């Protein structure tokens, strides 16, 4: 995720977190890079809270194309994995969810946000929505690093 975020800077990178959802924790076993399809998908988000001005650039927004999500869901199911979350970067901004991030988030997923400043990762934090649709911080425990997979 760090390399992806730094390589895509100054645009937002994005990808999927694959693994297993347990009773007390989510375990990420694979990280799948996806293309930021914001330019092509931006119109889908018109009217979403936090998008007062829809900018047609990937520096402030990200989107994972619906067909990529569907492909990931099918492949995960075939491999007995779950999509446990989504990651994206915040170029030259904090690893804190924006109002737009909150408006498009789903409660079952974790959301890792990577702060990249001047091309270097500075911070990484994980968040999940509570029952009132507010982001709460999640603890991230790194156990082992694995190679990333590309979905595009």
User: Cα–Cα distance between 4 and 33 in angstroms, integer?
Assistant: 8
* Sequence ranges of the domains in the chain: 2-150
**CA-wise closest residue to 30 among 150, 141, 138:** 150
- 2-150 falls under which CATH superfamily? Cytidine Deaminase, domain 2 (3.40.140.10)
The label of the residue with tokens 């990529």 reads: 68
pLDDT over 70 (residue 45): no
| All residues at 6 or more sequence positions from 146 whose CB lies less than 8 Å from its CB, including other chains | 29, 30, 31
Question: How do 120-129 and 110-117 pair as beta strands?
Answer: antiparallel
Distances (CA, A) of 73 to 11, 32, 54, 81, 151: 25, 12, 28, 9, 12
User: Cα–Cα distance between 133 and 124 in angstroms, integer?
Assistant: 21
* Digit-coded pLDDT (tens) for 78-106: 999 999 999 999 999 999 999 989 988 99
* Digit-coded pLDDT (tens) for 94-148: 999 999 899 889 999 999 999 999 999 999 999 999 999 999 999 999 876 555 5
Burial 128-150 (b: 16+ CB within 10 A, else e): bbeeeeebeebeeeeeeeeeeee
The label of the residue with tokens 């992806």 reads: 4
């Amino acid at each position: 995720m760090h390399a992806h975020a730094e390589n895509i800077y100054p645009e937002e990178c994005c990808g999927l977190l694959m693994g297993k959802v347990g009773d007390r924790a989510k375990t990420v076993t694979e990280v799948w890079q996806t293309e930021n399809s914001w330019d092509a998908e931006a119109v889908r988000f018109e009217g979403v809270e936090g998008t007062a001005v829809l900018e047609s650039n990937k520096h402030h927004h990200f989107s994972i194309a619906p067909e990529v999500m569907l492909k990931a869901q099918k492949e995960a199911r075939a491999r007995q994995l779950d999509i446990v979350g989504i990651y994206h970067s915040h170029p030259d901004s904090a690893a804190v969810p924006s109002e737009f991030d909150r408006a498009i988030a789903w409660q079952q997923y974790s959301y890792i946000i990577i702060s990249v400043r001047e091309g270097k990762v500075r911070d990484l934090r994980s968040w999940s929505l509570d029952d009132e649709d507010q982001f709460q911080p999640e603890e991230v425990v790194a156990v082992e690093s694995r190679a990333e997979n590309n979905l595009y």
